[in-house]
Chains A and B, each alone.
Chain A
């Protein structure tokens, strides 16, 4: 039972096994579609068509993907240090304060390229702040990071309701949101990027924060695999005792990792606030922090996997809207099921098919060896 898993070729380890898990998750999702009396293949057609059918749809797909790259990276960075940050949702929500403050302060006097860097710093700062406390509490007081980050999600939600209804709401307005931002608080669209491919972005809010997300993904890759800090984080994630023996300060790494993770989650707020709504409203995160968990697990915590995984979830969000339009009995809650199934099969049950696949490869290996032997004789 306890024999360690045999080493498999790279394309099996990073290709076949994750794809098998993903396929099973979608198979089960298809069963749910059957259960409500609809045709899963028709649903799949609407999904693909709704996500890629037009330039505008692609714009929306990439807009959602931008959000999920940020939250996926946030979860992944923490994973590398052996920390499970469920607080991405709260960190992104609080990160919105930084974006809103920068925009409310300067949007009427400065162009977007002055406000944007400040908003990036602001969002990362507030997101990091919201992750700092759980990190510090884990490092210094030994409280479990999973529980504290869950609690901080709820605290963040109460805090933001308070701020939006009492502090940031303009006088005389009833809706719990900030005022609309002027031009300086609106990010330019990436219509030129899609028009290279002859696509028209239309009304899709596909904006420049997508490029920031790609840069962040590259930055995370450099951090994790090309810096001393990243090496220390990975060491701690693999074996805390080895890290301690090597003189790596656990508490320092825990706090720094959580702050980087929270900062990345906070930067997610740029995309909806400055890129789409041009104001901060209640619940603008809409579960993206939790999607980040699925994205990180599916992308195996590697930026090269996280970007496609984020795009896949972008497809689900955008295509899911199309399914809900065409097939009313499948609402957008279907995405929540798929998200849960992906987390289950790519995360908790990731090794379910491994023994069978390993056995298949061992058998093939033996047969190949036998062939070589007979030829030799």
Chain B
């Protein structure tokens, strides 16, 4: 029973750390499927987290915080879009630039406005998300096996957590079952064909970039309004890059994205859990190895040793009408 208890705790924290990864990786899915590479997920998430923390602290309203997060993230997305779609600049360079601008300005502005060393003030009850308890969760907690699964794994998460996992089938439906999704995928594979059909490549890509901004906004808001009470400088701590790795690991498919995020989240939770405890057979695994594992796995996958990850064909290439 003890093993089962440990497993439930582990899976519960897996879900908690996976949420921002799921949001950000789905965000990347939309732009990359439309042919715009985005390594600025990290920056957008960080900017959104800061906006959410700052606005929620000032207005004492969690919803204003969420809206601010989405607005800032969409704005950053549009800058990336302007540079890489309209100006046909290098998409990687633009993403790198956004990451740096956000990393610096969140600290500078946070310090100037709140004077707490780059943090935003700690948020009270009304200014942050509360967990949702399913009906009867406490009553059946003591039922063996099913009780903990219902009470700890399914119930007791934030609204954004449920939204994140709902976004997975929703993204699938949008990308594979709607006209917009079909065109969006087409524009990432063969923009010339889409243009010939009389559909604006530019406008489609902008819409994909905006979708990405909205989802990154949720990811950032989750970090500063749900997971912790307020913004802490550099709080994304590479999650945007892990999400990017998950997206590639998932071969740009929505359900695989969720599984990859859960896997990377599980590794993260396991690394914290295993700190200092020796494993059977292998002995003590260095924490650093566990931390590096998502990146190592992605490299191995990219090298084609676990199936082949084929990116959208027109990814990273700005669209030029004639020539």
CB atoms of A334 and B108 under 8 A apart: yes
CB atoms of A137 and B108 under 8 A apart: no
- Give A185 to B13 CA distance when docked, in angstroms: 47
CB atoms of A159 and B87 under 8 A apart: no
Shortest Cβ gap from B233 to chain A (Å): 8
A350 neighbours in B (Cβ, 8 Å): 89
Asked if B97 is an interface residue, CB under 8 A from chain A, the answer is yes
Indicate which residue in A35, A336, A348, A351 contacts B109 across the interface (CB closer than 8 Å): A35
Asked if A147 is an interface residue, CB under 8 A from chain B, the answer is yes
Asked if B193 is an interface residue, CB under 8 A from chain A, the answer is no
CB atoms of A344 and B302 under 8 A apart: no
Shortest Cβ gap from A242 to chain B (Å): 17
Indicate which residue in A334, A339, A347, A351 contacts B94 across the interface (CB closer than 8 Å): A347
CB atoms of A158 and B100 under 8 A apart: no
Instruction: Convert B283-303 into 0s and 1s, putting 1 for each residue whose CB lies closer than 8 angstroms to a CB of A.
Output: 000101101100110110011
**Residue of A at shortest CB range from B93?**
A347
Instruction: Convert B94-109 into 0s and 1s, putting 1 for each residue whose CB lies closer than 8 angstroms to a CB of A.
Output: 1011111111110111
A148-B302 in contact given A1-B321, A2-B320, A159-B292 (Cβ < 8 Å): yes
CB atoms of B100 and A340 under 8 A apart: yes
Asked if A12 is an interface residue, CB under 8 A from chain B, the answer is no
- A124-144 contacts to B, CB under 8 A, are 137, 141-144
| B90, B100, B248: most-surrounded residue (chain A CB, <10 A) | B100
CB atoms of B101 and A348 under 8 A apart: no
CB atoms of A137 and B302 under 8 A apart: yes
- Give A348 to B118 CA distance when docked, in angstroms: 28
B194 neighbours in A (Cβ, 8 Å): none
CB atoms of A348 and B292 under 8 A apart: no
Asked if A343 is an interface residue, CB under 8 A from chain B, the answer is yes
- Give A343 to B296 CA distance when docked, in angstroms: 28
Shortest Cβ gap from A20 to chain B (Å): 14
B323 neighbours in A (Cβ, 8 Å): 2
**Residue of B at shortest CB range from A156?**
B292
CB atoms of A341 and B101 under 8 A apart: yes
- Give A228 to B111 CA distance when docked, in angstroms: 52
B108 neighbours in A (Cβ, 8 Å): 32, 36, 329-331, 333-334, 337
Asked if B112 is an interface residue, CB under 8 A from chain A, the answer is yes
Could you tell me which A residues sit within 8 Å of B by CB distance?
Answer: 1-2, 32, 35-37, 84, 86, 137, 141-144, 146-148, 150-152, 154-155, 158-159, 161-162, 166, 290, 293, 297, 329-331, 333-341, 343-344, 347-352
Could you tell me which B residues sit within 8 Å of A by CB distance?
Answer: 37, 39, 79, 83-84, 87-94, 96-105, 107-109, 111-112, 118, 238, 241, 244-245, 248, 286, 288-289, 291-292, 295-296, 298-299, 302-304, 309, 311, 320-323
Q: List 30 A-B contacts (CB under 8 A).
A: A1-B320, A2-B320, A2-B321, A35-B109, A36-B109, A36-B112, A86-B96, A137-B303, A141-B302, A143-B303, A144-B311, A146-B92, A148-B302, A151-B241, A151-B296, A152-B295, A154-B292, A330-B108, A331-B111, A333-B118, A340-B99, A341-B97, A344-B93, A344-B98, A347-B93, A348-B84, A348-B91, A349-B83, A349-B87, A351-B87
